[in-house]
Amino acid sequence: MPRWDVEWSRQATAVLDRISLALQAQAEDIYSNVQPKAEEFGKKLGSNEAYITNFAEEVIRGSGGLVLSQILAGLAGPVREAAKMGVWELASSLHAATGEVKVMDDLVGIQGKSFDTPQVLLVHKLGGMEDIPLGVVAILSPSGVDVLSHIAIRARNQKVLLASCHDGGIFSALVDANKAHKYVKVAVDSTMQVSLEPAASAGAGVTGTKAPTSVKLAAADLGPSSSKYVMLDTAFAHGCLGLSLPPSPSHTLARGSVFFPPFPPPPPSLCMLLLKNVVLATGYMLLH
């Protein structure tokens, strides 16, 4: 089968879609397992909430899947074009949303804001690291978004419809046709084509597919009588929490102390590795 002909490209699109879905499922699994425990540890340790809010997302983006998701984002447009398929790509699980339509260059100007009325945003440029303001129910953009980017993870967690259009002309026509409307309804059909139509009001906001059920973890006993929050590296041993799962930054740090003098102290990044390893190990042990 010749490469880049219609049939080959359609098969390649199917493979890319399956890989993308697998990455999304893995990301959701990591988030549901890691974030609750990170918040629990952070509360017990008195950590600054700003360091805990995106903890699981950083774990996800620290995996090899991030590079793969970026490759998928780069391939999606050319492969879909060669396959003569639609120009839209969905980065979240929702298929419909209704709200007040706004056209904007980017999301920078509304970071940290919230809206009382559901918002449908037509955004000319996305960087991937933006937060999604409370009240936004849909974001459409010509910018490609990889499935493990910050905004894609937030869209799935916040149940926001996020879609990219790989044809700038089609997106511009969509903006021109709808920028005069106050409210619009966004719908994604079975062929992944996105359509907008005028709506009488913002309605109930979001409808669509049901979010996957989260894994419920048993609450860890973090009382002073049962747990140690801090261990000296001399106490690290195989079988301790965080040391039995490869790779083990804790074990690496302990071994490193044999070869290096005690000063200067380890950098903060190593301390964050230890915390990340403990949280991951806790989720693993509770699930198995």
Q: Domain residue spans in the chain?
A: 6-85, 89-207, 233-287
* H-helix or E-strand spanning residue 175: helix 168-178
Q: How far is CA 152 from CA 17, 107, 134, 180, 276, in A?
A: 15, 14, 15, 28, 22
d(CA 121, CA 107): 9
10 Å CB burial of residue 7 (0-12, 13-18, 19+) is exposed
- According to the model, what pLDDT value does residue 221 have? 57
Task: Give CA angle at 10 (6, 13), nearest 5°.
Answer: 140
pLDDT of residue 288: 46
Strand-pair category, 88-90 with 96-104: unpaired
pLDDT at 266 over 90: no
Beta carbons within 10 angstroms of residue 11's beta carbon: 13
Of the spans 67-81, 129-143, 209-223, 254-268, which averages the highest pLDDT? 129-143
Beta strands 183-188 and 194-198, pairing class: antiparallel
Evaluate the omega torsion of the peptide bond into residue 247 and state whether it is cis, within 30 degrees of 0.
yes
CATH level 2 (architecture), domain 89-207? 3-Layer(bba) Sandwich (3.50)
Rounded Cα distance, 103 and 49, in Å: 33
* pTM flag (> 0.85): no
CA 143 to chain centre: 16
How many whole angstroms separate alpha carbon 232 and alpha carbon 239? Answer: 15
Confidence of residue 61 (pLDDT cuts 50, 70, 90): confident
Active-site pick, 95, 150, 166, 251: 150
pLDDT per residue as tens digits for the range 138-148:
999 998 888 88
User: How far apart (Å, rounded) are the C-alpha atoms in residues 132 and 112?
Assistant: 8
Catalytic annotation on 150? yes
The predicted model gives 85-100 an average pLDDT of: 87
Across the chain, mean pLDDT equals: 78
Closest listed residue to residue 90, CA positions, set 141, 31, 131: 141
**Furthest C-alpha separation in the chain:** 70
CA distance 43 to 217: 17
Q: Are 127 and 105 in contact (CB under 8 A)?
A: no
Please provide the DSSP assignment of 55-99 as one string: HHHHHHHTSTHHHHHHHHHHHHHHHHHHTT--SEEE-SS--EEEE
**How open is the CA angle 37-42-44, to the nearest 5 degrees?**
100
In this structure, of 2-11, 101-110, 279-288, the range with the lowest mean pLDDT score is 279-288
